[in-house]
Structure 1
Amino acid sequence: MSPLLCYALPALGTYVILSIFFLRRPRLLHTPQVQAFCVRLGAHRGGSGERLENTVEAMENALAQRADLLELDCQLTRDGVVVVSHDENLLRQSGLARDVGSLDFEDLPLYKEELEVYFSPGHFAHGSDRHMVRLEDVFQKFPRTPMSVEVKRENEELIHKIADLVRHFDRNEITIWASEKSSVMQKCKAANPEMPFSFTLSRGFWVLLLYYLGLLPFIPIPERFLISFLPTIINRSYFPFSCPGLNQLAAVASKWFIMRKSLIRHLEERGIQVIFWCLNEESDFEVAFGLGATGVITDYPTALRRYLDSHRATS
């Protein structure tokens, strides 16, 4: 055996042992992050399977089911009003082929009388409330309700207005910055660094890489939330690609890479809440909580509340 191998093999063995040891005992290296709230039940777009998405009526319905979190998306109108809307273009939501940013708030159309539930194809939501709502009004109506606010594009005016509203309503600890793009998240954190924030896509891949390299136990993590899709919903209710073959490949690959109890347990031990979206079936609730997830984001808060209450009663 060469001298290099004589040193390399013991060093590699020691590294592997230490990595596994600290993966299971992260608190020996890291003080767990303190969270102001815990998410078991999150309402996607305010609970868009039971009422029209992102309306006050949907949010009130979700909170009647003791939702811990409202998941919202924001856009900016032409006259500078932050509104709660998933889409920039209003065609799907209202039938009007105009962008939110091309209209003043007072000119925004009503939602359609029914909207298909995105993560439950073939199912439709209805409601008596069809009005788009200002983020300011949501903060005022639900002052102590935790919310996740997603910003999809690098709109600095929108980001700074959200940050200012959060400060104005004293919501720094209970409002989460969310974005898939790291460039957007950097601007969000700069606008209000006191707000907790979730992983972006690239940061999520980075954590997976560190996990498989055995380096994750030794690296600081500033994020407080990992809000991720559950791989088992790909090709069932979530179709990230237009090609069925790519969706099938994504389902298999992501299931193998992401659904690791040891990874989720490690993050939880470090005070990072792991929340899976967007789950609308009891079988998916079972999978998510079976993996050790903190919580679930759903379009159907009543169904998830029923599941949580029944399992608390039998546990």
Structure 2
Amino acid sequence: MTLILAHRGYAAEYPENTLLAFKEAEKAGAEGLELDVQMTRDGELVVIHDEKVDRTTDGTGLVKDYSLKELKKLDARFKFEALPKKELIPTLDEVLEWLSGTKLVCNIELKNSIITYEGMEEKVINMVRAYDLSDRIIISSFNHYSIVHSYLLAPEIEIAPLLSEGLYMPWIYAQSIKAKGFHPHWRAAPDQIVRASLESGIEVRPYTVNKETELERLFKVDCSAIITDDPAKARRIREKINRPE
């Protein structure tokens, strides 16, 4: 069965990368989450996609210039002002503590392609191990040096390279860096690439799959997982496709 991973949580209906969005994704029937990690000025791991806080909060400036205490004063509701209360930027620690009480898998994307956060890999791995979640975590990044470094530090935690463009025989590349899967943009995951990868024992988890036609296609080709903003919609489509005639 193709797993449904909620991209930044249930981002279609709730503020992305917040505990609210993650909890609602679980309620909507997602089997897992995808989230992003940046680092504060005082070296804390926080769950936010952009290097800047401007798009998703009422603050301005770079995450790396804020202390955790300063970041926690911001409101992460952004375009969901109708929500009754302020949403905070969560720490990775807070998310993993909640996650440990669920059965969800979690793809942690290291956001270190633009800003190189010193020691980020070690901090993430130590936290994953502290919560005994190594078998439910996938570490991904567009910075492939970083995920290879992560694998060398913790071979028991799965890694997956993110690919924004098509790659020739991506399953061979994944095998070469000891990844059990890769996460391509959905346009870089045509049926033949998905099939060849799966036949080679390499999992394919495309992002960010929101179009009904693409969801249907990837469910029909038995893709390992899809990463989507709308887990409820994805679940409806998966149930429709898997329903016996």
| TM-score normalised to structure 1 length | 0.68
Q: How does 1:140-289 map to 2 (within 5 A)?
A: 140-143=97-100, 144-153=103-112, 154-201=116-163, 205=167, 207-208=169-170, 222-231=178-187, 258-261=189-192, 263-289=193-219
Structure 1 residue runs of 4+, over 3 Å off?
124-129, 200-204
Aligned partners of 2:219 and 2:239: how far apart in 1? 13
* RMSD after superposition: 2.6
> 1:136 matched to which residue of 2?
93
CA distance in 2, matches of 1:276, 1:190: 25
Is there any run of 5+ residues in structure 2 with no aligned partner, and where? none
Q: Cα distance 1:281–1:126, how it changes in 2: closer, same or farther (>3 A)? A: farther
TM-superposed deviation, 1:202? 9.6
The Cα shift of 1:127 comes to: 7.3
Label 1:128 to 1:276 Cα distance change in 2 as closer, same or farther (>3 A): farther
Select the residue among 30, 40, 59 that pairs with 2:22: 59
SS in 1 for 2:159: coil
Count residues with an aligned counterpart.
236
Q: Does the Cα contact within 8 Å between 2:205 and 2:226 map onto a contact in 1?
A: yes
SS at match of 1:205: coil
Change (3 A) 1:311 1:125: farther
Q: Distance in 2 between matches of 1:199 and 1:133?
A: 24
Q: Which amino acid aligns with 1:107?
A: E
The Cα of 1:206 is off from its aligned counterpart by 5.2
Gaps of 5+ in 1: 1-37, 116-123, 232-253
1:192 is displaced (CA, Å) by 2.1
Aligned to 1:237: none
CA change 1:296–1:203 in 2 (3 A) is closer
Read off the aligned partner of 2:204 and give its amino acid letter: V
TM-score in terms of structure 2 length: 0.85
Specify the code of the residue in structure 1 equivalent to 2:42: D
1:77 is aligned to 2:36: no
Other-structure match for 1:307:
237
Give me the whole-angstrom Cα distance separating, in 2, the residues matched to 1:39 and 1:185. Answer: 24
